[in-house]
Amino acid sequence: MKTLPQSLLAKLQKRTDSNALRQLGTTSNRIDFSSNDYIGFSQSKVIFEQTHQYLLDTNYTQNGATGSRLISGNHEVYSTIEKEIANFHQSESALIFNSGYDANVGFFSSVPQKGDFILYDELCHASIRDGIQLSHAKAYKYDHNDFEDLERLILKFNTSNTPIYIATESVFSMDGDSPNLGQLAILSTKYNCYLVIDEAHALGVYGENGQGLVQYLGIENQVFARIMTFGKGLGCHGAAVLGSKDLQSYLVNFARSFIYTTGLNPHAVATIGIAYRNLEAQSENISRLRENILWFNQEKKMAGLQPLFVRSKSAIQCAIIPGNEKVKTIARQLQEKGFEVKAILSPTVPEGQERLRFCLHSYNTKEEITELLSLLSSFVF
């Protein structure tokens, strides 16, 4: 079999030399402080069984053709679930994509036009940045959560009626922190900008029934588009772009990651709908998650670990431990004690910002959290 070109082999060797080579792992029986299954929906037998029954009751299983949603893949269940999602999020419309990556790439590559401006937080997810790279708009990053820097850029480019899109996340995936979205909504309204918020790590976590941080703050009418990813809090495949009906129509016509891909099968779409219904039916999971977030923050303070951590009130808690080798060693020590914790290495994060990323869940116990942080303290200090 023909090997890789030398230039590619050299890139792999560079990763190996810096102790940053990514490799596929396997699932383990260790205590989960790693997955994004914040409220346990991916392992819910109730959701699995209800989805199966829903498909039987509605006969959606009779239409199982695959293909683009514009050809043969737009099963009837899509319209039903998209309406339910839109109602749940108090939005005019919802358009389902196959993943959060597809949704962000589809949106940012097609909506902002040549001559438009995109102003994005410097820590925005790779899917947003990849979509921006495919766009013909001009893009500039602003300092993380720094709205003075953002306003400076707005004033610089707000010289005509050219649209300005502001892109950020309600909860950042590598830090777990959040911008002041209320202040951001005021700023975007003041300058008539189009505010786009990725809610991947807020769905299922914020709001009485896990609606996300935008609705929790009551600013949904000031947001042009929300990207809701289901592979975190809902524990299933897919994502949706929320916005006006005109936006939905535009994406159907121009978002290439929507047009030129096979649509999700009826079972996957039905699972999304059942997961949404269980956000309300299993609201106690959300309450337990919030209790665990509070407990984790209290315990890390008691253990003297607070200076290591990025300030976060979300399910994502990150301890900065510079150096790929050092952070991998501590992660391995925690794994040997039975805790599934992942090290985030450079270049995924900037050099010197390597970290342990702890994901909290409704099914973690307070005793597990306390033991985990006690071990971390003994390994760090």
- How far, in Å, CA of 372 to CA of 300, rounded? 10
Angstrom CA distances, 363 to 3, 12, 89, 288, stand at 45, 38, 26, 8
Q: In what order do the strands lie in the sheet with 194-198?
A: 93-97, 239-243, 225-229, 194-198, 164-169, 117-121, 138-142
Q: Residue 12: in which H helix or E strand, if any?
A: helix 6-17
Query: Could you state, in order of their start, the residue ranges of all structural domains in the chain?
Result: 30-43+283-380, 63-281
Contacts of 31 (CB under 8 A, 6+ apart): 338, 339, 340, 364, 368, 372
CATH class of 30-43+283-380: alpha beta
Question: Going residue by residue through the chain (381 aa), what tens digit of pLDDT does each one get?
Answer: 999 999 999 999 999 988 888 888 777 799 999 999 999 999 999 999 999 999 998 877 555 668 899 998 898 899 999 999 999 999 999 999 999 999 999 999 999 999 999 999 999 999 999 999 999 999 999 999 999 999 999 999 988 789 999 999 999 999 999 999 999 999 999 999 999 999 999 999 999 999 999 999 999 999 999 999 999 999 999 999 999 999 999 999 999 999 999 999 999 999 999 999 999 999 999 999 999 999 999 999 999 999 999 999 999 999 999 999 999 999 999 999 999 999 999 998 999 999 999 999 999 999 999 999 999 999 998
Tokens of residue 114, six digits: 């040549």
Q: Residue 129: in which H helix or E strand, if any?
A: helix 126-134
Nearest-CA neighbor of 341 among 118, 25, 30, 59?
30
Contact of 104 with 165, CB cutoff 8 Å: no
- How far, in Å, CA of 286 to CA of 267, rounded? 25
Contact of 334 with 376, CB cutoff 8 Å: yes
Q: In what order do the strands lie in the sheet with 342-344?
A: 316-320, 355-359, 342-344
For the domain with range 63-281, which CATH number is right: 3.40.640.10, 3.20.20.150, 3.10.180.10, 3.30.420.40? Answer: 3.40.640.10
